[in-house]
Structure 1
Amino acid sequence: MNCAFSISSLFLIQLLVIFHCVQSANDIVQDTCKKIAANDPELNIDFCVKSLGSDPESHKVDLEGLGLIGVKLLQANYTGTIEYIKQLQKQKLEPSLLKALSFCLDVYTSGERKDLIPLYKAKRYGEVNIYVTIMMNKEAACDAQGSEKGGTVPPLTKSNADVYQLSIIVLDIMNIV
């Protein structure tokens, strides 16, 4: 019985250690998002936590690793937005919306597109910063095209907002790192 008690005690201790490690990993995502949100009122903290936490690696990385996850998510969303615009253009939509979508596609695809992952891994944060800022400006230009009042192109509202939020996350993490 003493042996059984020792084995179950050992199992309980291991379980607590694992729980603590997972909790600590979750804390880096939440702590980072809280820190960013405290300095940047435009950041949606829930979006930040959900986005960074969606990558299984986020529970195993440090702050620099979270930045890399943010870069990967940003690039995927940026490319996904371009593909989404192309799909929308194939649908029968009103001419003004098609015109806005065409403008947004031109904006999103204009200029040089770089794979930011190698730049980030090489700690060339200044270059990453430039490209992320350009991506952010393209999102803003697309949003402004939505209406004469500076609204958004309705089918792109979420995609544009995601690109913008991920840009904030990446830029702010690089400022901390």
Structure 2
Amino acid sequence: MIMKFASYLVIFFTIFFHCSNGSNLIHQSCMEASESDPNLRYDFCVASLEDGSSKRQPPPTNLEDLVGMSIQLTKSNATNMVSIISELLKSKGFDQYAKGCLKDCFDLFKDSLSELDDAVVAFKSKDLNTAAIKMSATLDNSVTCEDQFKDKKGEKSPLTKENHDYYQLNVISLAFVQMFHQHY
């Protein structure tokens, strides 16, 4: 009975330490990245990565795992953007101008998926310069999408929050690739 209890205790502390270690890694990495990049919000970084790591087994234990996870989160968000925009394009609540903007946004995020796939491949093969270039190539897509709506007076983007979140996730991924490059 005591041996069984001791075994459970060892398993509990191993899991606790492993999860705690992942959380510390996220906090430390987000802090370092936010100090070096004024576009990166620490609180968003921590919240999105902790949420992402809770859905991932096992949680990241080193910077390389964290970079991979952040790129995958950015890619997942781009996939979600394509889906959201696709649904908005089916809606009858937009005029021709807004539909044109949404179509352009759809194309931007669809293209992002290819670039993000290339970034994943480059990162996995330790081609960090190419990974950073591919991440940079997708960085402004959300800004471009958002700005299109501003070109017509009175037009409001239905994607403001989503564009902001995508931009932040992309900034995080790019900052982490650069951090990994410095430590690699």
Please report how far the alpha carbon of residue 175 of structure 1 lies from its aligned counterpart in structure 2 after TM superposition: 1.2
Distance 2:154 2:70 in 1: 26
| Residue 179 of structure 2 is aligned to residue 176 of structure 1 | yes
Unaligned runs of 5+ in 2: none
Deviations 1:21-52 (A, max 9, x none): 32222100111111111111221222211222
Contact 1:68 1:117 in 2 (8 A): yes
- 1:85 paired with 2:69, answer no
Question: How many residues of Structure 1 are paired with residues of Structure 2 in the alignment?
Answer: 174
Instruction: Provide the C-alpha distance between the structure 1 equivalents of 2:112 and 2:173, rounded to a whole number of angstroms.
Output: 20
1:118 matches 2:121: yes
Contact 2:21 2:61 in 1 (8 A): no
Aligned counterparts, 1:140-155, within 5 A: 140-148=143-151, 154-155=157-158
Are the aligned partners of 1:143 and 1:151 in contact in 2 as well (CA < 8 Å)?
A: no
Instruction: Supply the AA of the counterpart residue of 2:64.
Output: E
- The alignment yields a C-alpha RMSD, in angstroms, of 2.9
CA distance in 1, matches of 2:102, 2:31: 34
- Verify the 8 A CA contact 2:40 2:172 in the aligned structure 1: yes
TM-score (norm 1): 0.82
In structure 2, C-alpha distance between the alignment counterparts of 1:111 and 1:105, rounded to whole Å: 10
Q: Following the alignment from structure 1 to structure 2, what is the Cα–Cα distance between the partners of residues 52 and 64? A: 14
Helix, strand or coil for the counterpart of 1:155?
coil
Aligned to 1:27: 24
- 1:19 Cα deviation after fit: 2.9
> Which residue does the alignment assign to 1:99?
100
CA drift of 1:57 comes to 3.9
Could you give the per-residue CA deviations for residues 100-158 of structure 1, whole angstroms, max 9, x where no partner exists? Answer: 21222233345892413222111112112122111112222111112138999532112
Structure-1 separation of matches of 2:82 and 2:28: 32
Name stretches of at least 5 consecutive residues in structure 1 with no aligned partner: none
Query: Is 1:46 paired with 2:43?
Result: yes
